[in-house]
Structures are given as C-alpha cells and as structure tokens.
Amino acid sequence: MINYSPLWETMRQRDVSTYTLIHKYGINPRTINNLKHNKSITMFTLERLCEILNCEPNDIIRFEKE
C-alpha cells in the first residue's frame, strides 16, 4: 500500500502548506484530497511535488506491505 505520510513531514520541514501548494503552485485541491486519503496520484504530480519541495520521491511516498 502506498502511504503519503512522509509528504506531510517534508512539507513541515520546508514550511510549505497545502494552501501554498494550491494557490502558489497550482496543485489541484482534489489532488491534495487524494494525498490525504492515500489515493493514487499521477507521476507528473509526484515529479511536480519533488520539484516544489526540492526532494526525492521517498520524501513523499512510502510503500507498506499489507
């Protein structure tokens, strides 16, 4: 199962809020909702988040075996 819990810590460390992602960087609010509920996002979105947060994918996602 994909888990986005590392994203929230990375955002805290870089002082980036969901408001900033939506209003400054144009991330769709529906995408934020998907992240909050561990639903799928596109590779484009993952790449964009990495660029915005200056991080690697493992700073955003975690794979957990069920």
Using the structure block, give the residue that is written with the tokens 């209003």: 23
| Backbone φ, ψ for residue 23 (5° rounding) | -90, -30
Q: What is the pLDDT of residue 66?
A: 79
Kindly list the domain boundaries of the chain, sorted by start residue: 2-55
Q: What is the mean pLDDT of the chain?
A: 97
- The pLDDT value given to residue 33: 98
Structure tokens at 32: 């934020």
Residue 54: per-residue pLDDT: 98
Please report, for residues 52, 66, the alpha-carbon distance to residue 46 in angstroms, rounded to integers and kept in the order given.
Answer: 10, 22
For residue range 8-39, list pLDDT tens digits in order. Answer: 999 999 999 999 999 999 999 999 999 999 99
